Amino acid sequence: MTIASLTVRAAQAQSGLVPVDAQVLLAHVLGVNRAWLIAHAADALDATGAAAFMALAKRRRDGEPVAYLTGTREFWGLALAVTPAVLIPRPETETLVELVLARLPADRPIAVLDLGTGSGALALAIAHERPHARVTATDVSPDALAVAEGNVRRLALGNVAFLHSDWYAAVPAGPFDAIVSNPPYVAAGDPHLADGDLRFEPAGALSPGGDGLGALRIIVGGARERLVAGGTLAVEHGHDQSEAVQALFAAAGFDAITVARDLAGIPRVVAGRAP
What's the pLDDT tens digit per position in 161-183?
999 999 999 999 889 999 999 99
Over residues 26-42, mean pLDDT: 96
Domain ranges of the chain: 3-62, 85-273
3 state DSSP class of 240: coil
d(CA 260, CA 257): 10
Question: Which pLDDT belongs to residue 174?
Answer: 84
Is 18's pLDDT higher than 90? yes
Question: Which pLDDT belongs to residue 5?
Answer: 74
Q: Which fold has domain 85-273?
A: Rossmann fold (3.40.50)
Helix (H) or strand (E) holding 145: helix 142-155
**How many helices, marked H, and strands, marked E, lie in the chain?**
11, 9
Question: Which pLDDT belongs to residue 148?
Answer: 98
| Residue 199: band (very low, low, confident or very high) from pLDDT cuts 50, 70, 90 | very high
d(CA 196, CA 184): 17
Amino acid letter, residue 68? Y
What's the pLDDT tens digit per position in 48-103?
999 999 999 999 999 999 999 999 999 999 999 999 999 999 999 999 999 999 99
Is 1's pLDDT higher than 70? no
d(CA 135, CA 200): 29
Percent of the chain with pLDDT over 70: 99
